[in-house]
Amino acid sequence: MGTGETALLLVRHPTGPSFDLRRLVDWWAAQPKMLLEVRHVLSAGECPPNSCGAVLALRGRRLEDIVFAEATQDMLWRLFHAMLDAVDLGHSVQMYPDFDPSLAWLSDDESTICTLLPLGGAIPREVDQVRVVAGAFYRLATGIELRQLTTGAPTLLSWSKFAGEDLSRVIDRCLASEQSKASITTLQGLNHAVGRVSAEETSSKDGPCDLRSTSPSTIGQGLDKVAGMHALKDLLRREVVDPVRNPEPYRKYGLSIPNGILLYGPPGCGKTYIARQLAEELGHYFVEIIPSELASPYVHQSVMKIRELFDAAAEQAPAVVFIDEFEALVPPRGELGGHQQHKAEEVNEFLAHLNGCAEKRIFVIAATNQPERIDPAVRRTGRLDKLIYVGPPDAEARREMLSFHLRGRPVADRLDLVALAESLEFYSASDIRFLVDEAARHALNMAQEINDESFRSAMARIQPSVTSETEAQYRSIEQRGF
C-alpha cells in the first residue's frame, strides 16, 4: 500500500466473545481523516472465517518507506510529537497505537501519524507506554531494534547524528531503568519534558495546551511556543528572563534579581502553560505543585513540607518552583479564625523561604485567579517582585489556537480563520478548544465539513467565559498594583 491508495485490510482475530469488532472500527474512525478514511466496513459474510475487514483510503507516506537516518533535527522532533499525538488519540478510544513501520503513515508535512492497528492485547501500564513510544522512535531514527540488544540502548545521538542533545536526552531518560532518578516513567512527565501536555491534562488544567504554537516544538524554545501574546512574552523576557540569566549588569546598577512573579488573570487563559514555558526558557530545574500536595491532617506537617520543597529546589538550583492555585496556600492571615492558625504558620513559613530566593538561585512562579485572596505580605516587593496579568488570548493567538485544534479535521476551504479569530474576543484558551469541538459536532450532525455555519451554531450556545466587566476588574488590579 502506498501514497493515495485505497486498500482492503483484513484482520484475523481469535474466535470467542472477547474480540470486539466495534472497537476496531472505532480505532479506524478515530485516525486523522487527512491520512486514513474508512470507505466501507465489511460485513461478517464478506470476510473469511475468524477475520474482519474494511476498505480504507490511505494518504501520506508509510514509515517503512522513509529513511530517517539522515533526517534533520526539526523533522525528528516533528516525528516524535506526531507519535505523542497518536498516543493521545489512542487514549480517546482506550487503545494504544502500534508503531510498526509497515502499519503507520506520516503526513506530508510530517506533523501527523496514523496507525492502522492498535497494539494487541491490553493497554500497557503507563511506564511501558513511555518505553514503547520511545523505543519505536529509537528504531525509526537509528534502525536498531532494542529487543535485539544484549545491553542497554546506546544513546540516541551516537546513532542519529542529527538528533541533537535535547531530543537524545529525552529518549535516553524514557529508556532508562525505572529505578533511575532521571528516568521518565509517566506520559505526563514525558509531555512536560518536551514542552507539551497530554490530552488528559488538557481537560483538567488551566488550558495549558491551548496556547502552544503550531510550529514544531524544540526544547529550549520556551516562550516561542506560546501562540501570539507578544507583549506578554516581551515583558517576561525583559523583566524575568534577562535578569535571571544575566544578573551581573543588574547588580552593577544596584538592581536586585527577582525572587519570583505572580501570574494572575481569568481562568482558562493559559497561566499554567506560560509558567512551564517560562521555566523552559530559563532552562532551570522545574518543580510544579498545587497547595493540596502540601496539605496534611497533622498540625505542622504542612510547614515541614514547604521547608522540604524549598530545600529540594536549593539542591537542584538553579530551579523554578511553580505553585498553581496560589491563593489556597497563602490566604490573608488577618482573615483567619482561631481554628485556622495553622494556616498562618504555613504562610509565615512560606514567607521565610521566599525571602532571599534569588541568592539561592530559586525562582518562584505563582498563578492565581483570585489575586485579592493572597496575603499582602506575599505580594510586596522583595518577595514576589512582579505582578503580571495574563488575560484572554489576542487575535493572533486565537487564530493559531483555532488552526491547531482544527488540525486533522474536515474543514471547509472557505472558512476564514482570521475573521473567526477576530470575532472571538474575550474567549479564553479553554473556551476556544471547547468551541472547536462543538463546531465539529454540529458539522458531524449535518454531515458536512466544519464551516462558518458550524461555528455560528457553536457560538450561539457557548458564550465567552471572560466578560468585559471581568476584564476591567483585572485591569484595575494591574493599574493599582493591588
Q: Under DSSP, is residue 320 helix (H, G, I), strand (E, B) or coil?
A: strand
Which distant-in-sequence residues (6+ apart) come within 8 Å of 257 by Cβ?
Answer: 243, 244, 247, 250, 251, 358
Least Cα distance to 355 among 460, 432, 258, 224 occurs for 258
Question: What pLDDT, on a 0 to 100 scale, did the predictor assign at position 17?
Answer: 44
357-400 pLDDT, tens digit per residue, is 878 888 899 998 888 888 888 877 677 878 888 888 888 889 98
Q: Please say whether the dihedral angle defined by the alpha carbons of residues 287, 205, 267 and 343, taken in this order, is positive or negative.
A: negative
Fill in the DSSP letter of residue 92: H
Q: ∠320-326-328 over CA atoms, to 5°?
A: 140
Name which residue leads in pLDDT, 383 or 306. 306
**Mean per-residue pLDDT over the chain, rounded:** 79
In the sheet with 6-12, reading across from the earlier edge strand, the strands are: 6-12, 51-58, 36-41
Containing 367, the helix (H) or strand (E) segment is strand 362-368
Q: What are 33-82's pLDDT values in tens digits?
A: 889 888 887 776 777 776 777 788 888 899 999 988 778 888 898 899 99
Strands 285-289 and 319-323: parallel
- What 3-state class would DSSP assign to 319? strand
| Per-residue confidence band for 210, with pLDDT thresholds at 50, 70 and 90 | very low
* Mean pLDDT in residue range 145-159: 66
**Average confidence (pLDDT) over 304-318:** 85
| Between residues 344 and 195, the one the model is more confident about | 344
Residues paired with residue 62 on neighbouring β-strands, in sequence order: 105
Q: What is the pLDDT of residues 4-17, one digit of tens each?
A: 566 666 666 554 44
What CA–CA distance (Å, rounded) separates 240 from 184?
A: 29
Assess contact for 117 and 11: CB atoms under 8 A.
yes
pTM of the shown model: 0.53
Q: How far is the CA of 356 from the CAs of 314, 333, 362, in angstroms?
A: 12, 22, 9
Q: Which of 395, 436, 391 is nearest to 270 (CA)?
A: 391
Determine the pLDDT at residue 430.
Answer: 84
Domains parsed from the chain with CATH numbers: 6-193 (1.10.510.10), 229-391+475-480 (3.40.50.300)
User: 223 pLDDT exceeds 70?
Assistant: yes
With a cut of 60, say whether residue 204 has pLDDT above it: no
